[in-house]
Structure 1
Amino acid sequence: MTTLVPLLGDQLSHSLASLRAIPKDAIILMMEVAAEATYVPHHPQKIALFFSAMRHFADELRAAGWQVDYIRIDDPDSSGDFAGEVARAAIRHKATRIVTVAGGEWRVLDDQQSWGEITGLPVEIRDDDRFLCPIDQFAAWAKGRKRMVMEDFYRLMRRQTGLLMDGDQPVGGQWNYDQENRKSVPKGHKFTPPLRFAPDAITADVIETVAARFGNHFGSLAGFGWAVTRAQALAALDDFIAHRLAGFGDYQDAMVTGEDVLNHSLLSPALNLGLLSPLEVCQAAEAAYVAGTAPLNAVEGFIRQILGWREYVRGLYWFAGPDYTARNHLNATRPLPALFWGAPTDLKCLGTAVDATRRNAMAHHIQRLMILGNFAMLVGTDPGEVHLWYLSVYADAIEWVEAPNVIGMSQFADGGLMATKPYAAGGAYVNRMSNHCKSCKYDVKIRTGPNACPLNSLYWDFLARHEAALSNNQRLWRMYDGWRRFSEEEQVRIRAQAATFLATLA
């Protein structure tokens, strides 16, 4: 009896369900396959992060006494995909059964469900219990709801976990301190840079291989410094708690030219790989509040991103079904503008966000939502193309977490299943939350004319284009009231200004 345990690149946890209650002589199969590196053109740092973390984890498993069969991307006999490698391994090891943990997206789960027919072996697919809300629990909560408001789910999870709770009530008397977390950064404010990790021999070898095979993908490998082991991920967590958590709340929505990270944690890749657990990260932040080293608005805001958003979007992804990424409520059809792939743009906010993405395989949530996502939605970009771009370029982009944030939150393509309104904004928002406008070619304070910020006319044009679909949304009545206050002549000028800019994208 030989048990084969295929272990995927985002399942790098020693507590993984497939590693429990199986014989120690089981064969752990880990696979670097071309299909996973190329089904979208992943950022080279993202590929290197996965492969390096996988190789390090394989060594940890061997040190713990497991037998590991590791297939490298440069193996000349590799079939190039999961199913082919599972079939080869089953023959190679004379396997009698397969035990695995469900993949994190529909595409991978479909592949796993084919392994039994391909190999002729019984396949046990275990639930991934590393999350705080099981998929079936979320489905029970979501069933029958017209809109699945994250705040309601978040309060349920706070009570369930006891995080930042005083009995049945939230610590401090409020559930959400988001209103305190929208401050602009004072001039001259200094941020503490995050802990980064110099590549060791394993990572250096991976980087060389990735550069040779995937160097034509958008993104730079220079400066790679991600945590690739659990020990490094824990050190990164400690560094964030000690040096940036206290200021995270105040400036979590801010954008500053020349500052890629600000007070953000950069822990999402380690969480998604399985090097950290969501509960331990939340508990570390809560402990900082209890110890008096971080204020409540910062700790609550950070915990909400993990306990609230992260768990919520995973549940919604599986609840919504495999066709979720095809939704297009606003019937947007424009191809993705070339500036997303690095083509020059005079819009400072967009150029800054794309450049950070290219260099780091990372941009923080406001850049993703209110700069890149907002622009894509305003100009009417096909949400399917936007989804594939985000999935390609960010180190923490796995479809279960990326797709709801893009399709639902960023592009409003699900028609309001997730977000209560489109997150549309003009230049005033960018000017309020960043210092980009001060060094931009365009004047953020004007709507029309050769020097006008394009976001202003695009914002009003977006509202006008979708008035029939959106004007009854109660959260947009002020915006539509503002639009109707413009004279007919001004409305014509605004829409002509937007049309002129949109023509440049073609």
Structure 2
Amino acid sequence: MVQTLRLLLGDQLSSRMSSLRDLDPARDVVMLAEVAAEATYVRHHKKKIAFLFAAMRAFAADLDARGVRVRYVKLDDPDNAGSLEAELARAVKTLRPREIVLTEPGEHRLAGAMADWELGVPVEVREDTRFLCPHAAFHTWAQGRRQLRMEYFYREMRVAHGLLLDEGKPTGGRWNFDAENRKPARADFFMPQPPRFEPDARTRDVLNLVAHRFPDHFGDLEPFWFGVTHEHAEQAFAHFLREALPRFGDYQDAMLVGEPFLYHAVISMYLNAGLLDPLDVCRRAEAEYRAGRAPLNCVEGFIRQVLGWREYVRGIYWLHGPNYVHENALGAARDLPWFYWSGDTEMACLSAAIGQTKREAYAHHIQRLMVTGNFALLAGIDPHQVHEWYLAVYADAYEWVEAPNTIGMSQFADGGTLASKPYAASGAYIDRMSDYCGHCVYDVKQKNGPQACPFNYLYWDFLARNRTTLANNPRVAPMYRTLDRLSEERRAEIARDAAEFLAQLK
């Protein structure tokens, strides 16, 4: 008789999971299952599926080596029932546990399904204690606030966890050094590459499985270089601390052709799957500053992304409930263009960001926000379709982190719940922060006409289309004053060029 059947989801690959807190190896069984329902609810990138399956198998092997009984269901098991509920039901019939214990999922979709499970034994769902701000704490922080701005949340998190503080005050006299972190990179910089891990036999089996079962999913499966173990993730983070953190802050917003990683950590897929601990990585980054090996602006910028932004967007996601992904404050209704899947566009910045996404299942935050996201915002793409694209194509994407970044930050579809203004920009921003424009058939300096960068006229057309909703936003009002100063002839050119461009967008 099994006392407790403990289910681990594919993004819960940590011995610190609340579901394993009171594990008794003599009486309990830990279960992991590769199921088609979780691999196909959106058409996940092939590399994302391979990463999770390979990491699940590696973690199961580690548990087994430590004497834990593991029930592992592979996707190609002939008896695989295809969903988590059905696999649990099969396990209950075979093992006859007295109870099932699991840690809450990261998505409303799965949480809602779990509420309807009928398995014949008690099911205990525990809070995910990997995160640094419990649900109740975020609800308390949000209660009564007119605006839920990340900066104030971040400051309280710094104090609560004692990071970058000197005698109770922010190290360096400021909470935020973001103003120092907006330098455009140059192609002659030495760019440290993230460690690449050669697939072992177990991972190679997964790659063959994914190639066979998901041939029509987005993205390139190989070369596959992601780490799939805790040891790999630790090596990747140690490499970042040593080689890239000292310049991460300065150039975190920069974009270069052929340089997908620059000085970024490239650890978000490891963090979000449980292979790294968020508080640990923050403390180790702070230690680099204290030891004089990394400047304050770089370390603060990294900690803000993990301790501040990551925890904040999760709080927003659970605060606003499952309907958040359907918000559409700007009424955007155009279908997502096919080039988001193919990468086949003459716009060099989009081609670079999407092509990189196809190859690597990765793009850094400015490529996501200010290239693919900015274009979708300006073109009036249906935000739910944009949301599903981001959820599918990135190895680090889970709805709790992806949806607020897309619906709130990128598409302003929540009407300002998360962001104080739309993150809309013309081609000048992309030109300043990248070298993409020098490789483009369009001219970023031209404002109108067939050779003009589409971002230029789409930016003003976006403002004109959304005047009723946005004109009273104090952070956008100056742009409307500029728009109103344009001649009638110029505004007519903007409307014509935008209409012609959008009409051929398929």
Same fold (TM over 0.5): yes
What is aligned with 1:43? 45
Q: Does 1:460 align with 2:446?
A: no
- Higher mean Cα deviation, 138-147 or 272-281? 138-147
What is aligned with 2:364? 364
What is aligned with 2:481? 481
Matched residues in 2 for 1:187 and 1:279: separation?
Answer: 33
What is aligned with 2:110? 108
What is aligned with 1:73? 75
What is aligned with 2:59? 57
Instruction: Give 1:20 shift.
Output: 1.4
Matched residues in 1 for 2:256 and 2:422: separation?
Answer: 24
What is aligned with 1:6? 7
Matched residues in 2 for 1:348 and 1:473: separation?
Answer: 32
What is aligned with 1:289? 289
Q: Which runs of 5+ in 2 are unaligned?
A: none
> What is the CA deviation profile of residues 236-274 of structure 1, one whole-angstrom value per residue up to 9, with x for unaligned ones?
010000000001011000000110100011100000010
What is aligned with 1:159? 159
Matched residues in 1 for 2:119 and 2:185: separation?
Answer: 58
Matched residues in 2 for 1:429 and 1:28: separation?
Answer: 50
Matched residues in 1 for 2:233 and 2:55: separation?
Answer: 11
Aligned amino acid, residue 4 of structure 2: T
- Higher mean Cα deviation, 99-108 or 53-62? 99-108
What is aligned with 1:419? 419
Instruction: Give 1:156 shift.
Output: 0.5
What is aligned with 1:311? 311
1:251 match: secondary structure: coil
Aligned amino acid, residue 7 of structure 1: L
Matched residues in 2 for 1:481 and 1:338: separation?
Answer: 35
Aligned amino acid, residue 292 of structure 1: G
Counterpart contact for 1:82–1:111, Cα < 8 Å = no
What is aligned with 1:399? 399
Instruction: Give 1:224 shift.
Output: 1.0
What is aligned with 1:223? 223
Matched residues in 1 for 2:24 and 2:259: separation?
Answer: 49
Q: Which runs of 5+ in 1 are unaligned?
A: none
Aligned amino acid, residue 125 of structure 1: V
Matched residues in 1 for 2:285 and 2:356: separation?
Answer: 27
> What is the CA deviation profile of residues 344-372 of structure 1, one whole-angstrom value per residue up to 9, with x for unaligned ones?
21110000000000000000000000000
Cα RMSD (Å) of the superposition? 0.9
Instruction: Give 1:112 shift.
Output: 2.3
Aligned amino acid, residue 121 of structure 1: V
Matched residues in 2 for 1:236 and 1:331: separation?
Answer: 42
Matched residues in 1 for 2:102 and 2:343: separation?
Answer: 42
1:125 match: secondary structure: strand
Counterpart contact for 1:29–1:70, Cα < 8 Å = yes
What is aligned with 1:20? 21
Aligned amino acid, residue 273 of structure 1: A
Counterpart contact for 1:83–1:114, Cα < 8 Å = no
What is aligned with 1:183? 183
Instruction: Give 1:477 shift.
Output: 1.8
Instruction: Give 1:187 shift.
Output: 4.3
Q: Does 1:30 align with 2:10?
A: no
1:463 match: secondary structure: helix
- Mapping 1:183-262, distance limit 5 Å: 183-262=183-262
Aligned amino acid, residue 492 of structure 2: V
What is aligned with 1:130? 130
Aligned amino acid, residue 10 of structure 2: G
What is aligned with 1:322? 322
Counterpart contact for 1:356–1:363, Cα < 8 Å = yes
Matched residues in 1 for 2:269 and 2:479: separation?
Answer: 37
TM-score (norm 2): 0.98
Find runs of 4+ consecutive structure 1 residues off by over 2 angstroms. Answer: 111-115
Instruction: Give 1:425 shift.
Output: 0.4
Counterpart contact for 1:2–1:93, Cα < 8 Å = no
Instruction: Give 1:119 shift.
Output: 1.4
Counterpart contact for 2:289–2:296, Cα < 8 Å = yes
Aligned amino acid, residue 449 of structure 2: G
Aligned amino acid, residue 51 of structure 2: L
Counterpart contact for 1:350–1:372, Cα < 8 Å = yes
- Mapping 1:372-451, distance limit 5 Å: 372-451=372-451
Matched residues in 2 for 1:206 and 1:377: separation?
Answer: 37
Instruction: Give 1:385 shift.
Output: 0.2
Instruction: Give 1:343 shift.
Output: 4.7
Counterpart contact for 1:164–1:286, Cα < 8 Å = yes
Matched residues in 2 for 1:22 and 1:443: separation?
Answer: 62
Aligned amino acid, residue 488 of structure 2: E
- Higher mean Cα deviation, 188-197 or 236-245? 188-197
> What is the CA deviation profile of residues 109-158 of structure 1, one whole-angstrom value per residue up to 9, with x for unaligned ones?
1222233xx21211111111011100110011112222210000000000
Counterpart contact for 2:343–2:355, Cα < 8 Å = no
2:249 match: secondary structure: helix
> What is the CA deviation profile of residues 174-229 of structure 1, one whole-angstrom value per residue up to 9, with x for unaligned ones?
11011100001134122111111110111111001000101211100112111110
Instruction: Give 1:2 shift.
Output: 2.2
1:468 match: secondary structure: helix
1:51 match: secondary structure: helix
Matched residues in 1 for 2:187 and 2:336: separation?
Answer: 35
Aligned amino acid, residue 124 of structure 1: E
Aligned amino acid, residue 22 of structure 1: L
Instruction: Give 1:22 shift.
Output: 3.4
Q: Does 1:333 align with 2:356?
A: no
Counterpart contact for 2:343–2:350, Cα < 8 Å = no
1:354 match: secondary structure: helix
Counterpart contact for 1:16–1:128, Cα < 8 Å = yes
2:71 match: secondary structure: strand
Matched residues in 2 for 1:450 and 1:129: separation?
Answer: 54
Aligned amino acid, residue 283 of structure 2: Q
